[in-house]
């Protein structure tokens, strides 16, 4: 049976849709910034159309490029404050030893219940790691005690910088978007943003210029291939 294309009801080409979604999620741009950049390329779309495209196709693209890595050596867990309509929420994040974001989760509190739900969600998808690196928040210790991982927990100064640095791309995007209006929208965005960031993050400081250019071109070709499938 032939698989139907999700773009069959749209007059705009899939290449333009994927370009708009990539620009909005990958770079710290607002919807109107994306509209202006597309206009310079001769593409006339409204910023509300860009919003609809990313809400409709962003999760689909993220599901296609997301690799369920069995990263079971070392996880870095951290949480960061996020304002939603003036109210404080918490974004939990699990990062592996290579800096790839494994899981993101939004909660209203950062107590034991929230930490336990976040850790169990990450372990359902990626298994149990050998080491949990966390800060000194007591919620982690209480949650890991229930999951049987408290003996593998490591805390210390600066050892969790990898997780803390993973928040920086999100913070840049948050400023461009002028914040978020709801938990559901934030949860959807951080999930898509993490997958796209993992896909295009080539860690250029580890490779020569030629190798980096090759990897970057391969990542871009894979992204364009999502629409051809």
Q: Write out the DSSP string of the chain.
A: -PPPPTTTT-SS-HHHHHHHHHHHHHSS--HHHHHHHHHHTT----HHHHHHHHHHHHHHHHHHH-------SEEEEEEEEEEETTEEEEEEEEEETTS-EEEEEEES--SHHHHHHHHHHHHHHH---SEEEE-S-HHHHHHHHHHT-GGGEEE-SSTTHHHHHTHHHHHHHHHHHT-BS-HHHHHHHHHHHHHHHHHH---GGGS-HHHHHHHHHHHHHHHHHHHH-
Task: Quote the pLDDT of residue 73.
Answer: 81
- The predicted structure's pLDDT at residue 1: 47
14-26 vs 183-200: helix crossing angle, rounded to 10: 100
What pLDDT, on the 0 to 100 scale, is given for residue 158? 85
pLDDT for residue 3 is more than 70: no
What value does the mean pLDDT take over residues 15-38? Answer: 91
130-157: pLDDT as tens digits: 999 999 999 999 999 999 988 999 998 7
**Burial (Cβ within 10 Å: 0-12, 13-18, ≥19) of residue 48:** exposed
Give percent of the chain with pLDDT exceeding 90.
Answer: 47
Domain boundaries in the chain? 8-65, 74-200
Q: Which CATH architecture has domain 74-200?
A: 2-Layer Sandwich (3.30)
| pLDDT score recorded for residue 7 | 65
Q: What percent of the chain has pLDDT over 70?
A: 91
pTM above 0.85, yes or no: no
pLDDT of residue 12: 77
Q: What is the pLDDT of residues 166-179, one digit of tens each?
A: 899 899 988 888 88
Q: Which pLDDT score is estimated for 6?
A: 65
């Amino acid at each position: 049976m032939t698989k139907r294309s999700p773009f069959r009801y749209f007059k705009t080409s899939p290449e333009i849709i994927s370009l708009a979604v990539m620009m909005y999620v990958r770079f710290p741009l607002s919807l109107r910034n994306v509209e202006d950049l597309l206009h310079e390329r001769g593409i006339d779309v409204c910023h509300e159309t860009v919003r609809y495209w990313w809400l409709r196709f962003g999760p689909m693209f993220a599901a296609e490029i997301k690799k369920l890595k069995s990263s079971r050596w070392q996880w870095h867990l951290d949480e960061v404050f996020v304002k939603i309509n003036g109210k404080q929420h918490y974004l939990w994040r699990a990062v592996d030893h290579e800096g790839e974001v494994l899981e993101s989760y939004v909660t209203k509190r950062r107590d034991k219940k929230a930490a336990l739900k976040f850790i169990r969600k990450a372990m359902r998808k990626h298994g149990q790691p050998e080491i949990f690196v966390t800060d000194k928040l007591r919620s982690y210790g209480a949650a890991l005690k229930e999951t049987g991982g408290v003996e593998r927990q490591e805390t210390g100064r600066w050892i969790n910088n990898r997780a803390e640095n993973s928040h920086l791309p999100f913070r840049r995007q948050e400023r461009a978007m002028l914040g978020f209006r709801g938990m559901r929208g934030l949860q959807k965005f951080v999930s898509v943003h993490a997958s796209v960031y993992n896909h295009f993050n080539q860690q250029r400081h580890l490779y020569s210029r030629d190798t980096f250019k090759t990897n970057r071109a391969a990542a871009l070709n894979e992204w364009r291939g999502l629409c051809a499938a």
